[in-house]
Structure 1
Amino acid sequence: MSEQAPHVQKPGWFTVNVFNRGVAWLTRRGISVWGSRVLEVRGRKSGEWRRTPVNVLTLDGRRYLVAPRGHVQWTHNMRAAGGGRLVVGKRVEEFTATEVLDDAEKTAVLRGYLKRWKAEVGVFFGGVGPDSSDEELLAIAPRHPVFAIAPVQGA
């Protein structure tokens, strides 16, 4: 992983107060918007559940969470907690998470994520898209944490 300073793009007022709340509201009621889920992860300091809407990418039979806005609070909490819950309506899936630390391994995941959700999150990737070269994806990989997720067995 690169030694760059952590990258964070804070959401604007509209995103926090309208878009994220709207997507979360629909998702909590069982309506998934473009594959959305509400991510619940325990706060690394408070231990309280924190919630944010996310998109889960399935690629080659594995599932991933990508942080389009960079090293944000949920990514720090995920590193500390090692997993969390994904919620759609009344369906709750507990999962474990392993961060993908090798930036080269992230390129296919970032490409797949951008192919699916570029219209929604492309602005956070600095002009890099699903048709960009591996080198361009590799250049932005350190700014976008990626977690491989797997369901908790027996949950």
Structure 2
Amino acid sequence: MQRVSVINTDIPDEKIYSVKFIDEIPAFGYVYIEGFISRTFGIYDYYCKRCRKFSEEVCSCGNFSEKILRIAGIFSDSTADILWTTNDEQVAEKITNRKTEDLKAKRTKDKESENEKEIIKGIMNHEHKFLGYNSDKKFIVVDAEC
């Protein structure tokens, strides 16, 4: 593991590492990993503001959940795979190179799946560098270089 420094972040530099392979990701601390997205499970999720949790379109509390941009899938470095997800809409915007407001404005029943396929195709076409941490066998991405 190699230590790297990060500019404009709340994470202390001594807690950030750069690893060559996914298998080297430490149990604790932040790490940079490079690779590609081999599969996505979706780019949208529903979030209930009343319950403050991710849920279905209609939450168990009866509230209609807000649809947010949140990407999840499998990340690979050609030697190993890891489940990953973004932690907020800003990171997902950075990975897709699109603004959430633009996606919400264009969203209709007919165009939604077309837009989603286009976005997924776009993010799978090149390598990514993610900054994040391990959490329950899932890599949580807090920043990205795409």
Taking structure 1 as the reference length, the TM-score comes to 0.30
Larger RCO (CA within 8 A; separation ≥ 6): 1
Taking structure 2 as the reference length, the TM-score comes to 0.31
Structure in which a larger fraction of residues adopt helix: 1
Larger radius of gyration: 2
Structure in which a larger fraction of residues adopt strand: 2
